[in-house]
Amino acid sequence: MLKFFIDTNSELWFEKVDQMDVSIINMPYCLDDELLDADLGRNADYVKFFDRVQKGATPTTCGLNKDNYIQYFEPILQAGDDIIYVTFSHKLSNTFEYMRQAIDELLVKYPERKISYVDTKQISVGEELVVEEAYKQYKNGASAEDIVAFVEKFRIEVGTYFGVESLMHLKRGGRVSGTTAVLGTLLNIKPILKIDEEGAIVKMQTAKGMKGVVKTLFDIFKSNEDKAKDYSIYIAHANQEQCAEELKKLIAEYIGQDSNIMIQPIGPTIGTHCGVGTLGLAFHKK
């Protein structure tokens, strides 16, 4: 039997996960010297998390080590099952080197078993959209090889864009350069970033204020969407609910009120790097 793995960087809300036949890899973060696991909103209060960050708390993230991955994968192999893991972007973490070490070790111990993985080259709600469609393939009986092939094709059809209030969080995590972060802060502009086809975060353009971010993301949607109505459209926010609702309204008026437009809170792991006030959008693009 094949077991489907995802990670919490996909931002799937716990209520949705509870309806899926998936195994979850929890990505850790640290707040005020306490090591915590992202739990997709099951117990964590995301609003309080960002309130604490605004008041000066400095969260950090860390990757899993080899033993962590073994603890996730080995019980499945012991039960006689194989694994397909649909991951967040390998460009954004060195944790996958430890994952590969764990897989190599486990396959020596369980040579009859198979562990497959595929990089969505996405994170947050962009990853969520890829995972959602890959899971449909899994439930329809697709093999691990078929799921890998599907993700490798579908991931380039997903556009993920977001505006941030400050680039300093992304600078601290090494996602953007110091020059980009400082200039953006000094000029009081709101950078618009995207996930490129290699799974890296790159600067795209700028907007004036959060109203400008909403308008810019909507303009990007209008210019780039392709059959977006046939898939879920995800809006992510870090304590930016009003802007998320405004963006949802604009998209619904443009593409149809019956569209599946989901507003998704950004969790602590992703929020550590993007910061308070982030607004994101993921959809099927040209």
pLDDT of residue 176 exceeding 70: no
User: What pLDDT, in 10s, does the model give residues 4-46?
Assistant: 999 999 999 999 999 999 999 999 999 888 888 889 989 888 8
Q: Is 269 exposed, middle or buried (0-12, 13-18, 19+ CB in 10 A)?
A: buried
Tokens of 272: 């550590």
Q: Is the pLDDT of residue 180 over 70?
A: no
Residues 120 and 126: beta-carbon distance below 8 Å: yes
E strand or H helix at 202, and its extent? strand 201-207
Q: How far apart, in whole angstroms, are the C-alpha atoms of residue 151 and residue 4? A: 13
Number of helices followed by number of strands (H, E) in the chain: 11, 13
Residues β-bridged to residue 25: 7
29 vs 80, higher pLDDT: 80
Tens digit of each residue's pLDDT (9 = 90 or more) over 89-137: 999 999 999 999 999 999 999 999 999 999 999 999 999 999 999 999 9
Does residue 131 or residue 167 have the better pLDDT? 131
What is the predicted pLDDT for the residue at 236?
97
- Who contacts 45 (Cβ-Cβ below 8 Å, separation ≥6)? none
How far is 132 from 6, CA to CA, in rounded Å?
10
Residue 122's contacts (CB-CB under 8 Å, 6 or more residues apart) are 88, 89, 129, 130, 155, 158, 160, 195, 199, 282
Q: Which pair of structure tokens corresponds to residue 201?
A: 């975060």
181 Cβ neighbours under 8 A, 6+ residues apart: 167, 168, 170, 171
Structural domains of the chain, ranges and CATH numbers in brackets: 2-156 (3.40.50.10170), 157-284 (3.30.1180.10)
β partners of residue 261: 233
Q: What confidence score (pLDDT) does residue 251 get?
A: 98
Is residue 177 pLDDT above 70, yes or no? Answer: no
Taking the CB of residue 35, how many other CB atoms lie within 10 A of it? 10
User: 174 pLDDT exceeds 60?
Assistant: no
Distance CA 120, CA 92 (A): 12
Mean pLDDT of the chain: 92
Among residues of the chain, what percentage have pLDDT more than 90?
75
What residue type is assigned to position 256 of the chain? G
pLDDT digits (tens, 9 = 90+) for 46-66: 888 888 888 888 888 888 999
pLDDT of residue 107: 98
